Chains A and B, each alone.
Chain A
Amino acid sequence: MSKQEQHWEKTRNLLFITLAIWFVFSIGIFLFGAEMQESSIRPFGYPLTYWFTCQGSLAIFVILIFWFAGRQEKIDDEFGFSEREGDK
Chain B
Amino acid sequence: MIKGKFIDNLPKVYGIYTGGFLVFIILMAIAEQAGMSAKLIGIFFVAFTVLIYALIGWLSRTLQVDAYYVAGRQVPTVFNGMATAADWMSGASFVAMAGGIYFKGYGYMALLVGWTGGYVLVASLLAPYLRKFGCYTVPDFIGTRYGGNLARFSAVIVLTVASFTYVTAQINATGTIASVALDIPFGIAVYVGLASILMCSMLGGMRAVTWTQVAQYIVLIIAYLLPVFWISSKLGAGFFPHFMLADEVARIAELEGQFGFVKNSAADLATVPKGLAGITKAHSSVNATPWAFISLAVCMMAGTASLPHVMMRYFTTPSVRTARRSVGWSLFFIFLLYSSAPMLATLSKLSLIDPTLPTGIIGKTIAEVQAIDWYQNWNQANLMFISDFNGNGTLELNEFFMGGKAVVLATPEIAGLPYVISGLVAAGGMAAAMSTADGLVLAISNALSHDIYYKIINPKAETAKRLIVARVLLVLIGFAGATIAALEIQGILGSVIWAFDFAMSGLFFPLVLGVWWKRANAPGAVAGMLLGLISGTAYLIWVRNGGSGFLGITQLTFGIVGAAVSLVSMIVVSLITAAPDAATQKMVDDVRVPSGKTVLAQK
User: What B residues does A34 contact at CB under 8 A?
Assistant: 286
Nearest chain A residue, comparing its CB with the CB of B318? A88
Of B119, B246, B297, the contact of A30 (CB 8 Å cutoff): B297
Give Cα distance in the complex from A58 to B490, angstroms.
29
Q: Is there a chain A Cβ closer than 8 Å to B149's Cβ?
A: no
Of A53, A59, A68, A72, the contact of B106 (CB 8 Å cutoff): A53
Closest CB-CB distance, A18 to chain B, in whole Å?
5
Closest CB-CB distance, A11 to chain B, in whole Å?
7
What per-residue 1/0 map shows which CB atoms of B51-78 lie under 8 Å from chain A?
0000000000000000000000100000
Query: With A42-B246, A45-B247, A83-B320 in contact, is A30–B293 under 8 Å at CB?
Result: yes
Q: Is there a chain A Cβ closer than 8 Å to B592's Cβ?
A: yes
Give Cα distance in the complex from A37 to B286, angstroms.
7
Number of residues on chain B facing chain A (CB within 8 A): 57
Closest CB-CB distance, B408 to chain A, in whole Å?
17
User: What A residues does B293 contact at CB under 8 A?
Assistant: 30, 33
Q: Is there a chain B Cβ closer than 8 Å to A4's Cβ?
A: yes
Closest CB-CB distance, A76 to chain B, in whole Å?
5
Are A46 and B327 in contact, CB atoms less than 8 angstroms apart?
Answer: no
Of B125, B249, B297, the contact of A27 (CB 8 Å cutoff): B297
Are A69 and B328 in contact, CB atoms less than 8 angstroms apart?
Answer: yes
Q: Is there a chain A Cβ closer than 8 Å to B456's Cβ?
A: no
Are B286 and A44 in contact, CB atoms less than 8 angstroms apart?
Answer: no
User: What B residues does A66 contact at CB under 8 A?
Assistant: 325, 328
Are A59 and B335 in contact, CB atoms less than 8 angstroms apart?
Answer: yes
Give Cα distance in the complex from A68 to B324, angstroms.
9
Of A4, A55, A81, the contact of B339 (CB 8 Å cutoff): A55
Are A4 and B119 in contact, CB atoms less than 8 angstroms apart?
Answer: no
Are A69 and B325 in contact, CB atoms less than 8 angstroms apart?
Answer: yes
Are A87 and B328 in contact, CB atoms less than 8 angstroms apart?
Answer: no
Are A26 and B113 in contact, CB atoms less than 8 angstroms apart?
Answer: yes
Query: With A30-B293, A31-B290, A37-B285 in contact, is A44–B592 under 8 Å at CB?
Result: no
Q: Is there a chain B Cβ closer than 8 Å to A15's Cβ?
A: yes
Give Cα distance in the complex from A33 to B243, angstroms.
21
Of A26, A44, A61, A84, the contact of B243 (CB 8 Å cutoff): A44
What per-residue 1/0 map shows which CB atoms of B324-349 lie under 8 Å from chain A?
11011001100100110011000000
Q: Is there a chain B Cβ closer than 8 Å to A19's Cβ?
A: yes
Number of residues on chain A facing chain B (CB within 8 A): 48
User: What A residues does B297 contact at CB under 8 A?
Assistant: 26-27, 30
What per-residue 1/0 map shows which CB atoms of A10-37 lie under 8 Å from chain B?
0100010011001001110011111001
One of B7-15, B469-477, B594-602 at the interface: B594-602
Query: With A49-B106, A62-B331 in contact, is A81–B246 under 8 Å at CB?
Result: no
Question: B64-113: which have CB < 8 Å to A?
Answer: 73, 106, 109-110, 112-113
Are B294 and A27 in contact, CB atoms less than 8 angstroms apart?
Answer: yes
Give Cα distance in the complex from A75 to B293, angstroms.
36
Give Cα distance in the complex from A23 to B324, angstroms.
20
Are B243 and A57 in contact, CB atoms less than 8 angstroms apart?
Answer: no
Are A22 and B243 in contact, CB atoms less than 8 angstroms apart?
Answer: no
Closest CB-CB distance, A16 to chain B, in whole Å?
10
Query: With A54-B339, A66-B325, A81-B593 in contact, is A30–B124 under 8 Å at CB?
Result: no
Give Cα distance in the complex from A15 to B126, angstroms.
11
Nearest chain A residue, comparing its CB with the CB of B593? A81
Are B595 and A82 in contact, CB atoms less than 8 angstroms apart?
Answer: yes
Q: Is there a chain A Cβ closer than 8 Å to B319's Cβ?
A: yes
Are B595 and A81 in contact, CB atoms less than 8 angstroms apart?
Answer: yes
Q: Is there a chain A Cβ closer than 8 Å to B434's Cβ?
A: no
Closest CB-CB distance, A30 to chain B, in whole Å?
5
User: What A residues does B116 contact at CB under 8 A?
Assistant: 57-58, 61-62
Are B325 and A4 in contact, CB atoms less than 8 angstroms apart?
Answer: no
Closest CB-CB distance, B102 to chain A, in whole Å?
13
A-B residue pairs in contact (CB < 8 Å), sample of 27: A4-B589, A7-B592, A11-B592, A15-B124, A26-B301, A30-B293, A30-B297, A33-B290, A45-B247, A47-B249, A47-B284, A53-B110, A54-B339, A57-B116, A58-B335, A61-B120, A62-B332, A64-B120, A65-B331, A66-B325, A66-B328, A69-B123, A69-B325, A73-B321, A82-B594, A82-B595, A87-B596
8 other A-B residue contacts (CB within 8 Å) besides A22-B120, A65-B119:
A15-B124, A18-B124, A30-B290, A37-B286, A45-B250, A61-B117, A76-B595, A83-B594
